[in-house]
Amino acid sequence: PEEWAKEALTMSKLRLVHLTPSIAYKSTVLPQPFHNDPADQIILATAREENAIILTKDERIHKYSQVKSIW
């Protein structure tokens, strides 16, 4: 897993985003409806804060209209 992460970060369109107090707070006040998985909430809040596209196969994230996601 560590090697995969290092290699992924060498790709030009990927970057590591740190968890900030703003993202942590925004993960608790996401526009509804969305399920209560804290990890997914942090991912969504990060994407909203960074205006990023989420790469995932998670259908619940794909159905959430407040972020862009692809698979």
Q: What are the tens digits of pLDDT across the range 17-44?
A: 999 999 999 999 999 888 899 999 999 9
CA angle 21, 26, 28 (to 5 degrees): 105
pLDDT band of residue 2 (cuts 50, 70, 90) is confident
Q: What are the tens digits of pLDDT across the range 39-58?
A: 999 999 999 999 999 999 99
Taking the model in full, what pTM does it have?
0.84
Closest among 59, 30, 57 to 42, alpha carbons compared:
30
> Which pLDDT belongs to residue 10?
87
Domain residue spans of the chain = 2-70
Please state, in angstroms and rounded to a whole number, the distance separating the CA atoms of residues 34 and 1: 29
